[in-house]
Structure 1
Amino acid sequence: MGCGKIADGHAEQLLAIGRADLVAACDREPLMVERFAQRWTGVTGHADMADMIRVERLDAVHIVTPPDSHVQLACQAMELGCHVFLEKPFALDAAGTRRILDCARETRRRIGVNYLYNFETPGLRLRELMDERALGDVVHIDTSYGYNLGGDYGMAVMGDPAHWVHRLPGKLFHNVLDHVLAKVVPFLEEPVAVNAFAHRMRPDSGDAALDAMPDELRFTLAGANGVTVSGMVSSHARPVSHAMKVYGTRDTVELDYAARTLVRSARQDQPSALGRLFPAWIQAVRFAGNGAKNTGDFMRNRFHYFQCMRVLLGGFYDAIEGRGEDPVPHTHILRVATLIDGIVDALERPA
């Protein structure tokens, strides 16, 4: 449901996992549906989602429309018997998120969300390290997410003052905070204290809608368990970053989601000048190990751009078939939405 840019990513990975047949697409713009059907063989175009579900007798629907439509569309699809996979943001706020999750529970349908970066290679490795207690207790997390306003998605937002991103309560940040927060909510116990501030670095454009959109965000989170998080969403920092550093009582690791690496932080275990000589070489070996693994994954056809979505969708369809739990727990989805609400509220508080 929805035939915009990200719809092709869903279609590609859905076909790659071979767990379902891609048979129909729907969009309120006939031209979008027509072009999508031309790109994907065997797809029938529709103008109404309910009609599509009934006519095609669908089992699952991927909803990739703007988030202000998610509550209505997701609940309608589940009430018609479909499992639903939602593109982020899951909903506009925590209240909408609860409505969707409640509907999933009432209809006994599976609901998933595209928190794909939790299923990137470094994200999966971090989960293994946590299960092994290799890091000890987490003390602090530093996370960064870059958004290139000159890229394909950024240009779409900047080139259209009527783009749906400008309607979001948190505007640009609202569209990416799911990716940032989904990675840290497993480490935080509620209640979580939230502080945030934002500003615009780019010059005036003369368009009120564009100039009302900040492009730099900083925030801090403090969980009831004492774990803290510092976060940055930046449109100007270069290179464009997508990274996280997790500090533990036993060890610390640095994750680069763009490069698909996870390395332990350097230690200075030897005395004097020698202690400063070895860490760089040790880190080089660790990065080389990551490079070798990535090369192996590439050779085995497991290094696609949306490989993480492929892993996530595999888990989602496992859950539909009763072979596993939801890959993204409902509790995590709601906590992400609650934290986004908290950040938006913090940005609206007087300085």
Structure 2
Amino acid sequence: MKAFEIEPKLKPDMSRFLIHMTGKSAIKSILKGGNVKNQGFIKALIPNGSKSDKFTHKIACFTETPIFALGGFVAISQRRSDEKMHYGIGFRKSYMVKNNVRPTIYLDNDVLGLLFSVSESDSNQEVNSLLDSIKSLAHPLGEKAYKQGFTWEREWRFVDKVGFYFNYDAIEVICCPREEQLELQVILGGFSDKIQFVDSWAQYKSHTKYIEHSEIKDKIAQGLASHDDFEIEDFLGNYEDNLESLKAYKDYLLSLQASVDDIEKQLEELVEWKNYIDAHTAEHCGHFSENLVWRSDFEQSFCPDCSRDFDEGMAKAMLDD
């Protein structure tokens, strides 16, 4: 399997998509921002967090964060929370690589400073060009900062003075609240039929809730099994909270079971539909009909039209003879 195609179901921290995170009004502007019909545009900007006037590259940003974890952008960043960045436009990673989108290079602060210093002092044009390309993808590791930088963003960049143009048929995923999907589908027209619409914020809350309740459940189970690491008094003191957490965990599991039941029902319907199609598909011509004609001369089924055409052809051939 190609690295760019690895999915979360195989390796949960991987994604085959690159997502541009944005807000409600911005995603509509992006989808309508192209120069031609059915084209979108993500404007390239100098990053808001750039504290140095030495970084002058304009970039369009994307993340390779798996879809179910995109909600972390809102949960971690107050700015993104204020801007309600529950929206995103996703493209296949292999497509983005072909279009010169590249992963950000997170460098030690001292190394990053040296890079910028050398790039400004060297007079060799080829070296300057190389260093400038590296600078455009470089970001501080933040090892000396309180919040330790932004490696969690798993950022990729498209470096351009204008921005990233894309055709609607390149869009693989649209992230938005479920109630907002219809409005975006109207903008995208028929292209929306091949786009996966995902409520990434709902997925994030579901996954984090599962982890939270799993941790509580494991802590209680381990504590009851070993009194050395678990105080009964503490457990009894937080009994109501623990009980509510487990009840919420039970509700979550029941919701998953309901989803499984629904999927199983859909699978049964698909199998029934497939069997129905197979039973009404002519062996000879492959056409579908609810009124197949069995022909003993061929020992095969025909659709009515092909059977009639064959008889008419035979009759005409006999008259010509």
**TM above 0.5:** no
Under TM normalisation by the shorter chain, which class is it? under 0.3
Q: Which has the higher helix share?
A: 2
| Rg larger in structure | 2
TM-score norm. by structure 2 comes to: 0.23
TM-score norm. by structure 1 comes to: 0.21
